[in-house]
Amino acid sequence: MSGRPRRRRPRRAPRPAAGTPPENAGASPPADPRKPKEPDTPPPSKAQRRRRRRKTSAAVKAKAKTTATPTPAAAKQKPPTKAELAARATSTRKEISAGGVVYRRTEEGGLEILLAARRTLKGNIAWGLAKGHIEEGESPEDAAVREVREETGWEAVIEESLGLTKYFYVWENVRIRKTVHFFLMRATQGDPTDRDDEMEEIRWFPLDRSLKRAAYRGERDVLLRAADILG
């Protein structure tokens, strides 16, 4: 037996049992000392958050505006003009009517004119003189008195003629050429509530205001003739 001392072998760590993960499994790899450390990013301020929300909201609205389908109101076409309606008319018809410029004197000595408001074909309110068709076997004078009574509820007597006015309009593709006999009429009595439903409203206007409120040029000309007579 030799007198040399034996060298001891280092003990090996025991092998882990089957299915057991190593101790450092899932751990992050060690940081590379050569890689510079990223600076910490501060959280956005309130002003920055508001700006981001505004940009997002503006982008969403712009996208919705470009992709939105047109509404019926936007796609609605403009109503045809009088000339366009006349061009579409396939026939012509003549009509003869009668009406009156009804007036009364106030206690202060002023003059008032009776106007009636009716709906136009476009649905707007138009102020004008009472008038209507002359029925078969009826004179223009009788028709004027009747129409004033039916449309306004007022009784009136004719004082003199104011002449004729002529115009045309289109109704259901028919061109109507109309002639109206107008008379200067003085109101005697009446009840504005006892009238046809065709009129939206009945109102007395001072003479100068009636010239401004009358919707049609032909009737304004008739009112000027009446003003010349009444002084």
- Round to whole Å and give the CA distance between 116 and 148: 10
Q: Could you state, in order of their start, the residue ranges of all structural domains in the chain?
A: 83-230
Residue pair 131/143 in contact (Cβ under 8 Å)? The answer is: no
55 to 42, 48, 62, 125: CA distances (angstroms): 21, 11, 11, 47
What is the model's pLDDT at position 16? Answer: 55
Average pLDDT, the chain: 79
All residues at 6 or more sequence positions from 29 whose CB lies less than 8 Å from its CB, including other chains: none
Query: What digits encode the pLDDT tens for the residues 126-174?
Result: 999 999 999 999 999 999 999 999 999 999 999 999 999 988 777 667 7
Could you tell me the pLDDT band of residue 74, with boundaries at 50, 70 and 90? Answer: very low
* CA–CA gap between residue 172 and residue 121 (Å, rounded): 11
The CATH code belonging to domain 83-230 is: 3.90.79.10
Note the pTM of the prediction, 2 decimals. Answer: 0.60
Q: What is the DSSP string of 105-156?
A: E-TTS-EEEEEEEEE-TTS-EEEE-EEEEPPTT--HHHHHHHHHHHHHSEEE
pLDDT of residue 175: 80
> What are the beta bridge partners of residue 206?
112
Q: Which helix (H) or strand (E) holds 20?
A: none
pLDDT tier for residue 47 given thresholds of 50, 70 and 90: low
